[in-house]
Each structure stands twice: as structure tokens, then as C-alpha cells.
Amino acid sequence: MATQRILDFLATRRPTGPCLVVDLDVVRDNFRAFEKALPDSKIYYAVKANPAPEILRLLAAMGSSFDTASVAEVEMAMDAGAPADRISFGNTIKKERDIARAYQLGIRLFAVDCVEEVEKIARVAPGARVFCRVLTDGEGAEWPLSRKFGCVPAMAVDVLRHAKGLGLDAYGVSFHVGSQQTDLTAWDRALADAKVVFATLAEEGIVLKMVNMGGGFPTRYLRDVPAAQAYGQAIFSALRKHFGNALPETIIEPGRGMVGNAGVIKSEVVLISKKAANDNVRWVFLDIGKFGGLAETMDEAIRYPIVTAHDGTETAPCVLAGPTCDSADVMYEKTPYPLPLSLTIGDEVLIEGTGAYTTTYSAVAFNGFEPLRSYVI
């Protein structure tokens, strides 16, 4: 949503070129909502969603922990004031020398999903805590993360047993139910798998302590999504159902849900045209596209709300495309986007819900376009 603060900033500063404006008040509210919805879970903000230093500093000051995926992200979290014991290295794919560097920096919590990765950690991060990621089907998510990360629960048992054997602290199980997950029961299925791993290892005397329930909490795009409170309740009852009174420590790693609705991209209409005189679909070209930060429009997965000064007047379907000389730089074509007929070249539009996964996805200088500028206010 474009908050009044964002609208005032754009009206007074009038930045030229496409830019993202993030309202820290919204991030603060989101953090508090997660704390309230899941009071017994530690919050590890997924840095990749938006690593702007102002956001990381705010969250560090509010007591957040951080989920990082590289040494650079570890350093960003530390620069923002987070101590090493509030940072996890949550990427299951790490170079051994990066594990060593993170360990030197004090990081002691690492993700794995295979014995090969466990061996790297055992060599350069002795005694560290490891949690094993299990696969989920990503069902119900608009941006599924399935297949690439995690292993089946039976393999997670082997991985954690191996970790223990190599002197590591076999600490727990993690999963990610898929990003922009609107099915409240997704956590129930994943927690059932986590419980199997806990129970199987317990029989061998290996007592796991933690379940990392990942991200997936949605932000509002065109459709309403359940509030954090609804997720909290669904997750808490699933935990009770599978773990009874022996509740493990839990972690959540919101990315999109923490910053998505805090940001708005201001963009400009560069061209409106047709491919034939009798076409009824217009092509609307913006000064931002897939390579300027809107990569999540890939396969038209994420559909952003677009606000124009002409809203409320008659609309017609448009193909929405970016400004680069790459034919893949088309955001919405299979499902055209309805935009006002009175929209004209030079008009500004606001693309809402763009606080997550935009600046980090923007190319350095494709066709000479500068990377997406961001203002955090």
C-alpha cells in the first residue's frame, strides 16, 4: 500500500526514474504483528527479501534475528547491529571457505540438506549447530521453492545422525512451505514430517531441539490474505497436534511478509502502442520491468496492484512490458492487465506491494538502465 508518508515523499522529493520507496513504520508494524501472532517463536528476518541497511538496523534494534544466505549477508546483518548468535546461515548450498569465514565471524547455526554439506561444516565449523531442511510440496504457494532445497524426512534422519557422529550439534529440522503461501494448512503437513524426524532420532537417543518453520507468510497483492494472527493460530495448533506438550523451540523466517507491503515502486509510462490498428489489447511499456526489479512476474507468478491517477475510469486489457531490448521483458501478457483507457505516455504509476524481492532482483546495468533506486523513509 502507498502510505501517506510514501505519497508525501514522492510528492515533495519528486525523484526521477523508477524507484522503490519503503516505509519503515510498516516494517515495524509487521514485526510486531509476527511477534504477537507467534509469541513463542524467534523471528529470523530473511535478509534476501530486502537488505536495505535501514531495514536491517530497525529490525536488529527491535530484537529480530536474521536468516542469511552468504557471507555478505552475514556481514550486513552484523553491520546493522545483530550479534552473531542472532544470525543463521540458512542457505543449504555453501562453499566450505564461506562456512569457515562465517564460523570465524561467530556464526554457529547452519542449514544442511545432505551429508555432503554436513561434512563441509564438520571440517571448518566444529561443534556448530545444524538443522536439516526437509522438502515440502510447495502446494498453495504462489512462488514455490520446492525441489531445490531439502531432502525427504528419511534422509534428514541420516543427515542429522551423520552430523552428530561428526561432533556437530544435531539441532533440528527446517522447512519452507513456499513463498506467498495462502494455505494455512501448509505448515501442518510440514510439521508432521518434522515430527517424524524428531521421533525417529529420539529412538536412537538423538534429541533434536528446534523446528525452523521458514517463511512463506504472504503479503497483500490483488487479493486479501489471512492476517498474521490466523497463521499464528494455525501453526500453533499444528505444533500442538504433532508435538503435544513437548513443544520444540521454533523459528520463523519471514521475508515477503515482513517488507512486501512496506514498499511502493514509482514508475513512468514510456510508451502505449498497438501491434495492428484493429488490436484491442494495448501494449503499455513502463520504465521498469523484469530486469529492473520485477523478476517475480516470471510466469506471471506475482501480480502486483498498479495504481494510476485515472483509477475509477473505464479500463481495457493491456499487455504490460518493461523498457529493455529483451523480449522476455514482458510482465503480464497471458493474463492481460486492465488499465484505464485514459492512461497516457508520461503518466506515473505506482506498483504496490513491492517492498520484497525487487531491489535485489534488479540487474546492474542491463541496456544501461541503472539498478532500482531505493529510498527507505
Residues marked as catalytic: 325
Q: Which stretch binds ligand PLP (CB under 6 A): 72-80, 253-261, 279-287, 347-355?
A: 253-261
Q: Which of 108, 129, 256, 266 binds ligand PLP (CB under 6 A)?
A: 256
Q: Which of 9, 175, 217, 231 binds ligand PLP (CB under 6 A)?
A: 217
From CA 283, how far away is CA 315, in angstroms rounded? Answer: 13
Is there binding between residue 263 and ligand PLP (CB under 6 A)? no
Number of residues that bind ligand PLP (CB under 6 A): 16
Q: How far is the CB of 257 from ligand PLP (least distance, A)?
A: 5
Q: Which is nearer to ligand PLP, 198 or 231 (CB)?
A: 231
Q: Which stretch binds ligand PLP (CB under 6 A): 27-35, 200-208, 231-239, 250-258?
A: 250-258
Element (H, E) at 375: strand 373-376
Backbone torsions φ then ψ of 84, nearest 5 degrees? -55, -30
Is there binding between residue 282 and ligand PLP (CB under 6 A)? no
Q: How far is the CB of 111 from ligand PLP (least distance, A)?
A: 7
Give the distance between the most distant pair of CA atoms in the chain. 74
Q: Which is nearer to ligand PLP, 179 or 297 (CB)?
A: 179
Contact residues for 364 (Cβ-Cβ < 8 A; gap 6+) = 371
Contact residues for 265 (Cβ-Cβ < 8 A; gap 6+) = 18, 19, 20, 21, 288, 293, 294, 350, 351, 354, 358, 372
The beta-carbon contacts of 230-238 under 8 Å, at least 24 apart in sequence, are 230/184, 231/37, 231/38, 231/184, 231/187, 232/36, 232/37, 232/38, 233/37, 234/184, 234/185, 234/187, 234/188, 235/38, 235/187, 235/191, 236/38, 238/185, 238/187, 238/188, 238/191
Q: Which is nearer to ligand PLP, 179 or 267 (CB)?
A: 179
Q: Are 176 and 111 in contact (CB under 8 A)?
A: no
Q: How far is the CB of 89 from ligand PLP (least distance, A)?
A: 10
Q: Which stretch binds ligand PLP (CB under 6 A): 6-14, 23-31, 208-216, 334-342?
A: 208-216
Is there binding between residue 193 and ligand PLP (CB under 6 A)? no
Q: Which is nearer to ligand PLP, 133 or 290 (CB)?
A: 133
Q: Which stretch binds ligand PLP (CB under 6 A): 3-11, 100-108, 215-223, 290-298?
A: 215-223
Q: Which stretch binds ligand PLP (CB under 6 A): 251-259, 299-307, 313-321, 359-367?
A: 251-259
Is there binding between residue 108 and ligand PLP (CB under 6 A)? no
DSSP assignment of 147-207 equals TTS-B-HHHHHHHHHHHHHTT-EEEEEE----EEE--TTHHHHHHHHHHHHHHHHHHTT--
From CA 285, how far away is CA 84, in angstroms rounded? Answer: 45
Is there binding between residue 289 and ligand PLP (CB under 6 A)? no
Q: Which is nearer to ligand PLP, 13 or 223 (CB)?
A: 223
Q: Which of 37, 42, 66, 90 binds ligand PLP (CB under 6 A)?
A: 90
Q: Which is nearer to ligand PLP, 48 or 242 (CB)?
A: 48
Q: Which of residues 29-88 bind ligand PLP (CB under 6 A)?
A: 46, 48-49, 67
From CA 233, how far away is CA 222, in angstroms rounded? Answer: 24
DSSP assignment of 72-128 equals HHHHHHHHTT--GGGEEE--S---HHHHHHHHHTT--EEEESSHHHHHHHHHHSTT-
Is there binding between residue 153 and ligand PLP (CB under 6 A)? no
Q: Which is nearer to ligand PLP, 65 or 267 (CB)?
A: 65
Q: Which of 18, 51, 254, 292 binds ligand PLP (CB under 6 A)?
A: 254
User: Which among 235, 216, 215 has a CA at the least distance from the CA of 66?
Assistant: 215
Q: Are 177 and 136 in contact (CB under 8 A)?
A: yes
Is there binding between residue 131 and ligand PLP (CB under 6 A)? no
Q: Which of 108, 129, 164, 176 binds ligand PLP (CB under 6 A)?
A: 176
Is there binding between residue 172 and ligand PLP (CB under 6 A)? no
Binding site for ligand PLP (CB under 6 A): 46, 48-49, 67, 90, 176, 179, 214-217, 253-257
